[in-house]
């Protein structure tokens, strides 16, 4: 069991975990810690997604949507260009008396390539932006980490946060109704 003693301050402290019993306690604690006390480097761990937790602990909107949109546009334009180049410019071939290049028959392909590019970008981008795959995380060092996959809701405050202070932060988290607060080494 960790205790908050002066000698621990010299150790490699990564952060602090507070354990809550109900999802709404976690959201409320996260909201107070972030919005009222100005902590920024926060994380929440729970067995299932909790509505409103992102806004509560100040997780910014992901930029993934914009990347996906850009790649979708690229796929769309790329497909049109490909068809135009192959059938209309590089090796002109009349098929069924149709124009060498026309948008009408190209749109299904443009649509499909848009979806392909967008979907692959969303898939790979989600992993990349989340830093996945990742086999280790300091929060695993929490003595009862397994509870976060079952019936406990964890609020993580990283030591890198400018407002982090072992005593202050612990007092704050305990005052917000944390059942258990623990310092985590990295």
Q: Which residues bind another protein (CB under 8 A)?
A: 49, 51-52, 61, 65, 69, 96-98, 104-105, 107-108
Beta carbons of 155 and 173 less than 8 angstroms apart: yes
> Smallest distance, Å, CB 74 to another protein?
16
* CB neighbour list of residue 59: distance below 8 Å, 6 or more residues apart: 53
Nearer to another protein, 87 or 169 (CB): 87
> Smallest distance, Å, CB 83 to another protein?
14
Nearer to another protein, 58 or 186 (CB): 58
> Smallest distance, Å, CB 52 to another protein?
6
Nearer to another protein, 29 or 56 (CB): 56
> Smallest distance, Å, CB 96 to another protein?
8
98: left (phi over 0), alpha (psi -120 to 50) or beta: beta
Nearer to another protein, 114 or 169 (CB): 114
> Smallest distance, Å, CB 135 to another protein?
26
Nearer to another protein, 98 or 171 (CB): 98
């Amino acid at each position: 069991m960790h205790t908050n003693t002066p000698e621990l301050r010299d150790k490699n402290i990564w952060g602090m975990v507070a354990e809550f019993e109900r999802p709404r306690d976690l959201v409320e604690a996260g909201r107070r810690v972030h919005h009222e006390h100005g902590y920024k480097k926060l994380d929440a761990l729970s067995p299932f997604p909790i509505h409103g937790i992102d806004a509560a602990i100040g997780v910014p909107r992901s930029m993934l949507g914009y990347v996906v949109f850009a790649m979708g546009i690229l796929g769309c334009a790329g497909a049109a260009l490909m068809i135009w180049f192959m059938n209309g410019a590089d090796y002109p071939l009349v098929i069924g008396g149709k124009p060498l290049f026309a948008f009408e028959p190209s749109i299904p392909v443009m649509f499909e390539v848009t979806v392909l590019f967008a979907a692959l970008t969303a898939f790979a981008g989600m992993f990349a932006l989340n830093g996945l795959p990742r086999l280790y995380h300091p929060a695993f060092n929490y003595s009862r980490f397994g509870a976060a996959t079952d019936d406990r809701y964890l609020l993580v405050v990283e030591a890198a946060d400018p407002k982090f202070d072992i005593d202050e932060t612990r007092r704050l988290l305990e005052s917000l109704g944390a059942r258990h607060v623990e310092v985590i080494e990295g």
